[in-house]
Amino acid sequence: MKLHNTLTRSVQDIQPLQDNTVRIYTCGPTVYDHAHIGNLSTYVFADTLRRAIQLAGFETQQVMNYTDVDDKTIRRSHEQFPDDEPREALANLTEKYIAIFNEDMDKIGNDIRAVTFVSATESIEPMKELITKLHAGGFAYIADDGVYFSIEAYRKSGKTYGQLLEITAQSTSEARIQNDEYDKESVHDFALWKKQKDGEPSWEFTLDGQDLTGRPGWHIECSAMSRAALGQPFDIHTGGVDNIFPHHENEIAQSTALEDNPVMATIFAHAEHVLVDGKKMSKSAQNFYTLQDIIDKGYDPLAFRLKVLQSHYRNQANFTWESLDAAVNLLNNLRAWADLKHQKSGQAKNPGEDTYKAELQTLLAATQDDLDTPKAISALAMVAGKDEAAGVDADKIQHFLNIADRLFGLQLANRPDITHEQKDTIAEREAARLAKDWAKSDQLRAALQAQGIDLRDTPNGPVWFRV
């Protein structure tokens, strides 16, 4: 199984550090609002990556965090729950959006049961411990408004700040340096802990004899939680490309400052952003969509998943409603194909010996080659197209569908058969049709259509499909 590593800017083999288990940490959502389709596409990537790794023969341990304390969650919680105590208001807000996030994940076919979720507010203790150690080690200093990480100290210890991308003096503009409003020693230094401001939720924290009651910085949560949940170093750290800098760079610094080994994770894998109508999503551009917007327009959330899988995770994909229409139609065709296994008239009479064997190899090989899902989906679509003409291999298709589902999560393998009553109606309609009783035939067909079942007549008899 190969995967692109942002650290080395190359595609490399996944080799678990411990036993046969690939340990994955996925940067999760900040739960202050509905996730948008860009967020969700990144999680489709993380979900599919885990699936592909499992099919490559490895065990996996995947952890995702909820960022449930930060500027945005605090501000929003104050707006929505102005009468509650700050921490209560924060919990009210984030619990609401965590629930919505989990529902969204489920709807788009991401397997949340395969992931261990941890939230920042439940991990304050390990964060405080790490900050305390960093301070004792000389990598953190206390300023008026909080505790900062010292990039200079980190560099002086012989480690590289800028492992994921090169960080130079030229890459930071003068204006940004001058506009910097934080009370810190050096531009790139970042907050490990922020002292409480009026009305903000806070947790007690004493460092070096000083009362620093407040809340954690953003980056420290992932360093503390990934270590607590997976150990260090672990195998793969995933996120969106925007996480590369500063978030992941800062995580690396925090996580490795006190270690001999400057490696936080072997591979950092980043998903490109989704564009909408060729542009970055933004509310002002009116091209900002949540999953609910997609559902409200009548689309199946799994069509969105299929659309995401049809482009490579390291390319900027362009989301348009027209492309979602195309995905819907493909999904319907795949479903109609999968449903042929229930139908004699849709099955091949003399299937070959190795039906689906080569296609299965293509699916697995493609996804194990840096998660080439477009190629794999293309192979899937071709199998379905071939079968529609020749009929499915009733003996072997189930295994193929099982593997395809484990890989893509498109839920093709366990689609139910139609009812006995519906089957009887089809038989009755076929009898009427053969007797050239068109009125009765059409009436029975209409009755089935009312139940979401449509028919097409083939030389082998009628084939039903759901509409």
Residues of this chain, 76-95, that bind RNA according to CB under 7 A: none
- The window from 100-108, 197-205, 291-299, 309-317 that contacts RNA (CB under 7 A) reads 309-317
Q: Which is nearer to RNA, 157 or 333 (CB)?
A: 333
Strand, coil or helix: 352: coil
Residue in the block written with tokens 């933004």: 282
Q: What are phi and psi of 459, to 5 degrees?
A: -55, -25
CA distances from 239 to 235, 270, 344 (A): 14, 5, 46
Count of residues in the chain: 467
Burial of 250: CB neighbours in 10 Å, binned 0-12, 13-18, 19+: buried
- The window from 154-162, 258-266, 323-331, 350-358 that contacts RNA (CB under 7 A) reads 323-331
Binder to RNA among 16, 29, 214, 391 (CB under 7 A)?
29
**Number of residues near RNA (by CB under 7 A):** 87
Binder to RNA among 378, 411, 422, 460 (CB under 7 A)?
378
Binder to RNA among 271, 418, 426, 448 (CB under 7 A)?
271
Restricting to residues 238-257, name those near RNA by CB under 7 A: 239-247
CA distances from 10 to 42, 200, 370 (A): 20, 43, 10
- The window from 83-91, 105-113, 251-259, 269-277 that contacts RNA (CB under 7 A) reads 269-277
Restricting to residues 134-193, name those near RNA by CB under 7 A: 165-166, 168, 170-173, 176, 180, 187-191
Restricting to residues 379-438, name those near RNA by CB under 7 A: 381-382, 385, 388-389, 433, 438
Q: Is 330 in the site for RNA (CB under 7 A)?
A: yes
CA distances from 61 to 18, 21, 114, 212 (A): 11, 7, 8, 35
Restricting to residues 199-218, name those near RNA by CB under 7 A: 217-218
CB of 307: closest distance to RNA in angstroms? 6
Determine contact, residues 82/93, Cβ cutoff 8 Å: no
Residue type, 313: Y
Site string for RNA, 38-67 (x = CB under 7 A): xx-xx-------------------------
Binder to RNA among 102, 323, 411, 422 (CB under 7 A)?
323
- Cα 17 from chain centroid? 23
In 3D space, the residue among 8, 3, 18, 35 whose CA is nearest the CA of residue 274 turns out to be 35
Q: What are phi and psi of 167, to 5 degrees?
A: -115, 115
Q: Which is nearer to RNA, 133 or 280 (CB)?
A: 280
Q: What are phi and psi of 11, to 5 degrees?
A: -85, 130
CB of 426: closest distance to RNA in angstroms? 12
Binder to RNA among 12, 320, 362, 460 (CB under 7 A)?
320
Half-sphere exposure of 177 (CA within 13 A, CB side): 10
CB of 395: closest distance to RNA in angstroms? 21
In 3D space, the residue among 105, 88, 89, 10 whose CA is nearest the CA of residue 50 turns out to be 105
- The window from 29-37, 258-266, 348-356, 412-420 that contacts RNA (CB under 7 A) reads 29-37
Q: Which is nearer to RNA, 70 or 235 (CB)?
A: 70
- The window from 58-66, 86-94, 102-110, 305-313 that contacts RNA (CB under 7 A) reads 305-313
- The window from 95-103, 258-266, 354-362, 373-381 that contacts RNA (CB under 7 A) reads 373-381
Determine contact, residues 405/380, Cβ cutoff 8 Å: no
- The secondary element (H helix, E strand) that includes residue 225 is helix 218-230
Q: Which is nearer to RNA, 54 or 287 (CB)?
A: 287
Determine contact, residues 340/351, Cβ cutoff 8 Å: no
Q: For the chain, first and last CA: distance in Å?
A: 38
CB of 4: closest distance to RNA in angstroms? 11
